[in-house]
Structure 1
């Protein structure tokens, strides 16, 4: 098999476009063996798999692949030290869910890819039904978000909804995190079988619209002097409590 060594190769030029969000409508790139193995176990559909010749024996039998040089793999990867494999993954088309059933996490304008990925991974670990993201939330298919999710987007569904659209299609109680005086401690919440937990922007918190639509605003009591918690840490506390309540 020919090893691609040129940056001007048509396939490489085409695949490199997936490094930009506007080209990730149908597929996206993952890198490293951990994410690849998670994808394979999840039964995803691969596009082209790019791999170094010395790594090809690690691939499951029957998978097609394209050999590339170390320099070309570095061109396709986002990390400074790629782990020998970069793969194109086809995006799955999901039907719209019944948001009145189960427990959902909603991310409103969360900007940091690490926070987004961590919260999705935590929702997966806590056993939530799925995750909803606002149009202004960081792209879940960016390399940084993918590394932070560690494959959790293959374990639970993720959908994009504006807050306006969400309230039109869901009658589940909307819980909005807030530091305002009228918010209720999460420890005092009554058990709920269905809910949507909204986590807001890192700097601004939940929007005014979110507060106006909330069935309940909630906060985490803090004994120390810190004004607030990192949004991903706060989400972790609430997700595990609400899942088990």
Structure 2
């Protein structure tokens, strides 16, 4: 069977639409994942792709791409050969690995009583947000909340940076009124370089929500309407601030370490 070569192919048109338009992704409840590792990781996390495109060059060279396509085919996934030119047109990466798949939207339920919640407030960089999601999933965070103005957790760049975390941890978009309603009963912490409480002096054994603002403007003033404590990560005087994803990772792991090491 010859490879798919027409840009008018219905599946090709769907991939291009999903890659380029957030409205299409949310309307169709589908996402495009690129690269051998990302497709494999999400598949092994339990999400089966609707279909997968691959190039002959990728599978003929053997190795990971060939093994992945064989694994997906054996599982009953539709795997379609496409020309290299068409793959490059569909892909968002500069050097495509020759494999991409269309996956159903993650359906990870929001817990009723989360123990640790991270609120990313006004983050604009998809790489930073993807790194946060990857860290949060690895550390066992229960929920990640994105406030208005935060970059889309499901755009192609964030998906690549998250390495499948979006299928392992619930990610929601809430405004501050809804955050106050849903999370107001937790111990609420705002990360601030001038905070009065050091991050390692907090009682992290209590169910907590941590707000980390974007690097440009910090957290929104609306966050201050919720009863809170300002917490800081100590730094030497020559350093003004930390990267948002780095700050979040430090707070996540100190919170998890204290919670897990404390007797119940």
In structure 1, C-alpha distance between the alignment counterparts of 2:101 and 2:85, rounded to whole Å:
16
In structure 2, C-alpha distance between the alignment counterparts of 1:229 and 1:86, rounded to whole Å:
34
Give the 5 Å matches for 1:30-45.
Answer: 30-45=33-48
Residues matched between the structures, number: 243
For 1:24, the equivalent position in structure 2 comes to 25
Match of 1:143 among 144, 156, 170: 156
In structure 2, C-alpha distance between the alignment counterparts of 1:75 and 1:243, rounded to whole Å:
43
For 2:238, the equivalent position in structure 1 comes to 225
Alignment check: 8 A CA contact 2:146 2:172 kept: yes
Does the alignment pair 1:53 with 2:67?
no
Three-state SS of the structure 1 residue aligned to 2:150 is: coil
In structure 1, C-alpha distance between the alignment counterparts of 2:111 and 2:232, rounded to whole Å:
28
In structure 1, C-alpha distance between the alignment counterparts of 2:97 and 2:124, rounded to whole Å:
27
Does the alignment pair 1:79 with 2:82?
no
In structure 2, C-alpha distance between the alignment counterparts of 1:9 and 1:101, rounded to whole Å:
44
* CA drift at 1:153: 1.8
For 1:8, the equivalent position in structure 2 comes to 8
CA RMSD of aligned residues (A): 1.7
In structure 2, C-alpha distance between the alignment counterparts of 1:57 and 1:226, rounded to whole Å:
47
Three-state SS of the structure 2 residue aligned to 1:164 is: helix
* CA drift at 1:172: 1.1
Give the 5 Å matches for 1:77-156.
Answer: 77-98=91-112, 100-156=113-169
For 2:261, the equivalent position in structure 1 comes to none
TM-score, normalised to structure 1's length? 0.92
In structure 2, C-alpha distance between the alignment counterparts of 1:104 and 1:139, rounded to whole Å:
18
Three-state SS of the structure 2 residue aligned to 1:7 is: coil
In structure 1, C-alpha distance between the alignment counterparts of 2:109 and 2:203, rounded to whole Å:
31
Deviations 1:123-177 (A, max 9, x none): 1222212211123211111121111111122222222211210111221111111
Structure 1 residues 241 and 14: CA distance shift in structure 2, 3 A = same
Q: Which moved more, 1:21-30 or 1:54-63?
A: 54-63
Three-state SS of the structure 2 residue aligned to 1:16 is: helix
Alignment check: 8 A CA contact 2:110 2:143 kept: no
Three-state SS of the structure 2 residue aligned to 1:243 is: helix
Alignment check: 8 A CA contact 1:109 1:135 kept: yes
Deviations 1:55-104 (A, max 9, x none): 27422113211211001111111111111101001003344431x43111
For 1:242, the equivalent position in structure 2 comes to 255
Alignment check: 8 A CA contact 1:211 1:217 kept: no
